[in-house]
Amino acid sequence: MKIAVAAALALTVSTPALAAGTLPTTVVPVLYDISVTPNAQAMTFTGSETVQIDVKAATRTITLNAAGLAISSATVDGKPVRHTLDADRQLLTLTLPAVANVGRHTVGFAWSGKINQSAAGLFAIDYTNQDGSKSRMLATQFEAPDARRFAPMWDEPAFKARFRLKAIAPAGQLAFSNMPSMSVAKQSDGTQLYSFAETPVMSSYLLYLGMGDLERKTVMAGKVEIGVITRRGVVDQGDYALAEAKRLLPYYNNYFGQPYPLPKLDMIAGPGSSQFFGAMENWGAIFYFEPELLFDPKRATESGRQRIFTVVAHEMAHQWFGDLVTMQWWDDLWLNEGFASWMENKSAADLNPDWKARASAVAFDREGAMGVDSTAATHPIIRKIETVDQIGEAFDGITYSKGQAVIGMLESTLGADNFRDGIRRYMAKYKYGNTVTDQLWSELSAAAGQPVAEIAHGFTLQGGVPLVTLTAARCVGGSTTATIAQGRFGMDAPSKTPQTWQVPLVVGTLGGGDTRTIVSGASTDVSVKGCGTLLLNKGKGSYTRVMYDQAGHDALVRDYTRLPLEDRLGTLADDYALAAGGYQDLSRFFALMGRVGVDADPLEWSLVSGRLGSLRNIVRGTPLAAPLRARTVAILDPVLKRIGYTQRNGESPLVGNLRESLVDRLGDNGDPEVLRMARTYVGQLATNPTAIPPSIRTPILSTFAGNATPADWELLLKLTQAETNPVAKNRFVSLLGAAEDDALATRALALLKTDTFTAPQKAALLRAVSGGHPDMAFDWAVANRALVEGLLEESNRSSFIVGLGAGSVDPAMPAKINAFAQTLPEASRGAARRVVAGIAVRKAAVERLRPAVQTWLASGQ
């Protein structure tokens, strides 16, 4: 699954607690024959199934999963049996009249279920066509444990089986599943019976069914048909994804050493959105929400285009890592998600080298991981998952971003070829099976001829970010000997027990040599050829922060422009974080930033722009806010002038990304030129919906919305109501909540009590209000709790509401969040704890950084 950006750090669920991984293994499914008949108008469906099972030890009870289903009959070997459904534990138990002996048997069920409005089980997506008519698309979302809302199943990843699915679709609609349809039979009432081919052995959470008024377009990649499936009228917007998927399939076939095993690979675009995920890797039938898959050249930015590649690359990597080889249990979810996230950049670096994906990962992805991992609320990558709540919580920034960073570190430590060979061994050995993490380490070790687990365990079995510190360096006889200490880097109170890792580290001297070492104890000496400026974690391949002594840092500032790009980015990011954590003064970051020239790499300016945005939050509401705004404009405006306001022929895609970032940042800081441009463009939208150049459409709209006057906001509301493109409409709805003006935020909240928007749109609007008005949004949600809960997937209610308060600087907020958490079951309070911890970290950073910002602004440098 690819989680939504906004939810990446705050995902949790609060469905009933359930002892997990506890289905008895004495009975295992072999082959499911499932038939379903949806009634989209009534939002219900009926189903029946026959499951061939293997009884491994004689038994009188059979236990599997079901949730939210009304079971009307249950049979074993054709004879009716008694069944009981434990709704809290989502367990369906059959009690047999006599013992079932070891061997092959069949169980059968008939049931009815409901079609959900949000993405769990079988769900509906409602949208408006260009001609104003209404349509309803059906799709399924089964990860983590929601296949059991579709059919009674052994709904745990280790119970792999084959699936044969049949479904009734209305006349004129198309239906799709993991495998191609073998036949479509017209029924007497005009409906169509789709029979899909049998799947390979796979986990239940990967099954898919979708139907609607759809179009499909295909290309061949070798013998595999790749399809893009959309609502009618926009299938050409899938061309970009289709072309990239055609390049990715042979790339992955080669990388994994196993050919993609299904005859087709569809990518289905749903015209809606979820607050919680962007796409799902159902085997052979990947589901995406539209913005993650469809490229609309009239409206999409360059970064939006790159995002499509990223998500497609992620989901396609799962077709092997996750679908062909699956984690044994959710404890090892990171094997799926860390690997797929890492593969986004690996494949981009090889297939789209001008995106500089490795350097970009240093500047952004690595920082995302370390941000979460350096607070007391972090946790190990691998941890015991025992309840459904915890399964949901596992989809977080540690699993995805830290997982990605750790895999990247192991690749750079073992060497890219050794690492790939280890992955090939692992795929060959475990295809169609399930694994635990140590089985991956074994194969990597065997391929590389060196132990992996010793290094890896420090990063996967304990939480936290290492900090390596240069304490002394001396040059003797043409070589530098450096003394390096290590400990934990923490944004809040350091842990009482000292922590260490085995940190693989490349140490280099500028103009000299590189040496590889492993920092293992509290302190290590390392020797490297040359006496030039010393670089620790050269290339920034390892997952660690680095701090220099004063002489070492002075040399880095002096030689900054001569450093490799990854080291410029990584050192800027380390310096900022070290200051926020109280390890060193922010003046070191400013000294380095002063060396970023107007024509520096776009990634450097994107990073600087991001940190200036962070500082704006640090001084918000203080007398420093106005001078910092002016200073930010003075620094960034010349860079924007240099690259231009609109796309130039032949420019690097990274320049496109930087332009978006700069227009956004300058607009946020009230730059009069950007603001004037935003008002002019948006004023033209009523008569020309594509008046804004696509390359700056997103930041122009957010500038307009953030600085909106009451008249601007009225215009935005009119544009929102008139918009027929579902993706553009969703974006407009969120913009209504982005105004900095308090009165306009209040008006946005009032819209939630009208029937102007759909439930997912209202949830997005409320989250947008919380961006600039966290206290107002949180208080409103608590006061209107039933209404807000009605907007959300049941599994996300508690985390969503506490997340609204996350940006608050009001000292009263932590107590308010804790009071709210008291109304939740104990198992659902994790998100509240993380939000409160995050607020404390930010408060401490504010206290540390404000004086340094003041000094910097006063110095005028």
In the complex, which residues of this chain contact Zn ion (CB under 5 A)? Answer: 1, 337, 340
Nearby residues of 595 by Cβ (< 8 Å), 6 or more positions away: 557, 560, 561
CA nearest 692: which of 235, 298, 368? 298
For Zn ion, the closer CB: 340 or 465: 340
| Least distance CB 282 / Zn ion (angstroms) | 12
With tokens 């050269």, the residue in question is 538
- Provide the CB-side half-sphere exposure for 501 (13 A, CA): 27
CA nearest 806: which of 253, 2, 6, 3? 6
Cα separation of 737 and 751, whole Å? 10
Burial, 521: exposed, middle or buried (Cβ in 10 Å; 0-12, 13-18, 19+)?
exposed
For Zn ion, the closer CB: 400 or 704: 400
- Provide the CB-side half-sphere exposure for 301 (13 A, CA): 23
CA nearest 269: which of 302, 306, 240? 240
Cα separation of 291 and 403, whole Å? 25
Given the residues 290, 315, 443, 660, the one annotated as active site: 315
Tokens of 565: 């790009």
With tokens 């004879």, the residue in question is 79
For Zn ion, the closer CB: 301 or 390: 390
With tokens 């060193």, the residue in question is 584
Whether 290 is catalytic is no
Length of the chain: 861
Task: Tell me the backbone φ, ψ of residue 801, rounded to 5 degrees.
Answer: -65, -45
| Least distance CB 426 / Zn ion (angstroms) | 18
Cβ-contact 63, 90 below 8 angstroms? no
Largest CA distance in the chain: 91
Cβ-contact 402, 338 below 8 angstroms? yes
Cβ-contact 624, 588 below 8 angstroms? no
For Zn ion, the closer CB: 374 or 404: 404
Tokens of 494: 């350091």
Cα separation of 856 and 852, whole Å? 6
| Helical axes 416-430 vs 239-256, angle rounded to 10° | 90
For Zn ion, the closer CB: 287 or 681: 287
User: Nearest 5 degrees, angle CA 82-CA 87-CA 88?
Assistant: 135
| Pairing status of strand 162-169 against strand 91-100 | unpaired
Handedness of CA 510, 515, 519, 525 (dihedral sign): negative
DSSP assignment of 98-143: EEEPSEEEEEEEEEEEE-BSSSSEEEEEEEE-TTS-EEEEEEEE-T
For Zn ion, the closer CB: 338 or 541: 338
Cα separation of 62 and 27, whole Å? 7
CA-CA-CA-CA dihedral for 774, 778, 779, 782, to nearest 10: 180
Q: Chain centroid to CA 134: how far? A: 31
CA-CA-CA-CA dihedral for 628, 630, 631, 636, to nearest 10: 120
Q: SS3 letters for 238-280?
A: HHHHHHHHHHHHHHHHHHHCCCCCCCEEEEEEECCCCCCEEEE
Cα separation of 221 and 219, whole Å? 7
Task: Tell me the backbone φ, ψ of residue 9, rounded to 5 degrees.
Answer: -105, 5
For Zn ion, the closer CB: 340 or 853: 340
DSSP assignment of 424-461: HHHHHHHTTSEE-HHHHHHHHHHHHTS--HHHHHHHHS
For Zn ion, the closer CB: 344 or 712: 344
For Zn ion, the closer CB: 343 or 573: 343
Cα separation of 15 and 104, whole Å? 34
Cα separation of 338 and 400, whole Å? 5
Cβ-contact 716, 668 below 8 angstroms? no
Neighbours of 858 (CB within 10 A): 10
Cβ-contact 73, 108 below 8 angstroms? yes
Cα separation of 431 and 319, whole Å? 11
Active site residues: 315
